[in-house]
């Protein structure tokens, strides 16, 4: 395993604003925030990143998510592999796995596949969160039907106003209520200016349109949250983003920031 030199993301700052401040949307139907349950067969490219050693066995050790972009290649967030997220240096995690084909983390559907190699984007900057991407190589290939196409730069799916869906097993309320079954939330690609205004150089990060993508709802309500990191944002059948960061979850003034997949692919030299 190539040892990445990453400084960890300032998760503390994100966590600190999360519990009290978020005006959570009305109770019934939230997820990821404001989402709905989804079968894994509808998004077979969504995988869980897991380590039972680090995160315990209750939810199969899930701590982040990823997207299958090649039969043995998973794209995820760089910050998921940082010491701050893992609670230990990556090199010490002996049981890092990708769980594919399992929607319910309490079940035993699908497969747990050990990670053979990790490549963290050398351009990842934990202060701004720029270039928040990493590639995992699996010890065993997944079926070709699990692979999602990535959207290259200039793809129409990046246009503001585009409908997109984010998938994950993360916090459904912003108060630490982690889902055990996969959920999805409908969001919209927002213009770079929305996130640039929300996130000048802030404690959470700095919005940089080159390597980031802004998505959510102008009024808030639907969003990714803690635990969804690294997971896919999909539009027009193509992967456009990875859950990266935000200020709280589902807040109108804190849209979701995603790693821009076209940039990540270039920086990591990951094939389509
Ligand atoms: N950093 C978080 C994680 O590690 C993801 C936060 C996404 N936040 C948001 N409001 N979209 O899981």
**pLDDT tens-digit readout, 153-166:** 999 999 999 999 99
246 lines ligand 1 (CB under 6 A): yes
Q: What's the confidence (pLDDT) of residue 91?
A: 95
226 lines ligand 1 (CB under 6 A): yes
Contact assessment for residue 46 and residue 102, using Cβ atoms and an 8 Å cutoff: no
Q: What's the confidence (pLDDT) of residue 8?
A: 32
Q: What's the confidence (pLDDT) of residue 203?
A: 87
Q: What's the confidence (pLDDT) of residue 7?
A: 32
249 lines ligand 1 (CB under 6 A): yes
Q: Which atom of ligand 1 is nearest to the CA of 79?
A: 4
What structural domains and CATH numbers belong to the chain? 26-39+150-261 (2.40.10.10), 44-146 (2.40.10.10)
Q: What's the confidence (pLDDT) of residue 272?
A: 45
- Rounded to two decimals, the pTM is 0.89
Q: What's the confidence (pLDDT) of residue 202?
A: 85
pLDDT in tens, 203-213: 899 999 999 99
Q: Which atom of ligand 1 is nearest to the CA of 14?
A: 1
Mean pLDDT of the chain: 89
Contact assessment for residue 43 and residue 184, using Cβ atoms and an 8 Å cutoff: yes
CA 23 – CA 4 distance, rounded (Å): 37
Q: Which atom of ligand 1 is nearest to the CA of 249?
A: 10
Pocket perturbation via mutation, ligand 1, pick of 83, 246, 252 by most ligand atoms within 8 A of CB: 246
pLDDT in tens, 48-72: 999 999 999 999 999 999 999 999 9
CA 256 – CA 45 distance, rounded (Å): 21
For the annotated catalytic residues, the residue numbers are: 79, 132, 229
CA distances to 78, 158, 177, 210, 254 from 27, in Å:
32, 31, 12, 36, 20
pLDDT in tens, 156-192: 999 999 999 999 999 999 999 998 999 999 999 999 9
Q: How far is the CA of 258 from the centre of ligand 1 (A)?
A: 9
243 lines ligand 1 (CB under 6 A): yes
Q: How confident is the model at residue 152 (pLDDT cuts 50, 70, 90)?
A: very high
Q: What's the confidence (pLDDT) of residue 198?
A: 96
Q: Are strands 183-189 and 212-216 parallel, antiparallel or unpaired?
A: antiparallel
Among residues 207, 241, 211, the alpha carbon closest in space to that of 66 is found at 241
Whether the pLDDT of residue 241 is over 70: the answer is: yes
Q: What's the confidence (pLDDT) of residue 271?
A: 58
65 lines ligand 1 (CB under 6 A): no
Q: How far is the CA of 174 from the centre of ligand 1 (A)?
A: 10
């Amino acid at each position: 395993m190539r040892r990445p030199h990453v400084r960890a993301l300032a998760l503390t700052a994100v966590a600190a604003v999360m519990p009290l401040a978020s005006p959570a949307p009305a109770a019934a139907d939230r997820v990821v925030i404001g989402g709905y349950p989804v079968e894994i067969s509808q998004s077979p490219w969504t995988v869980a990143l897991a380590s039972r050693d680090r995160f315990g066995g209750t939810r199969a050790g899930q701590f982040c998510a990823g997207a299958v972009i090649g039969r043995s290649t998973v794209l995820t967030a760089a910050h998921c592999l940082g010491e701050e997220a893992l609670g230990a240096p990556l090199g010490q995690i002996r049981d890092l796995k990708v769980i594919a084909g399992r929607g319910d983390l309490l079940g035993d559907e699908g497969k747990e596949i050990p990670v053979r190699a990790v490549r963290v984007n050398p351009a990842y900057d934990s202060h701004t969160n720029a270039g928040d991407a990493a590639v995992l190589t699996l010890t065993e290939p997944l079926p070709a039907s699990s692979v999602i196409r990535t959207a290259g730069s200039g793809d129409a799916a990046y246009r503001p106003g585009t409908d997109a869906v984010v998938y994950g097993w993360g916090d459904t309320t912003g108060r630490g209520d982690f889902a055990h079954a996969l959920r999805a939330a409908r969001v919209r690609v927002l213009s770079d200016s929305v996130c640039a205004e929300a996130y000048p150089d802030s404690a959470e990060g700095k919005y940089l349109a080159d390597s980031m993508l802004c998505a959510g709802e102008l009024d808030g309500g639907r969003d990714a949250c803690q635990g969804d990191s690294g997971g896919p944002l999909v539009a027009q059948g193509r992967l456009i983003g990875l859950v990266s960061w935000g200020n709280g979850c589902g807040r109108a003034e804190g849209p979701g920031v995603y790693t821009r997949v076209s940039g990540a692919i270039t920086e990591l030299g990951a094939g389509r």
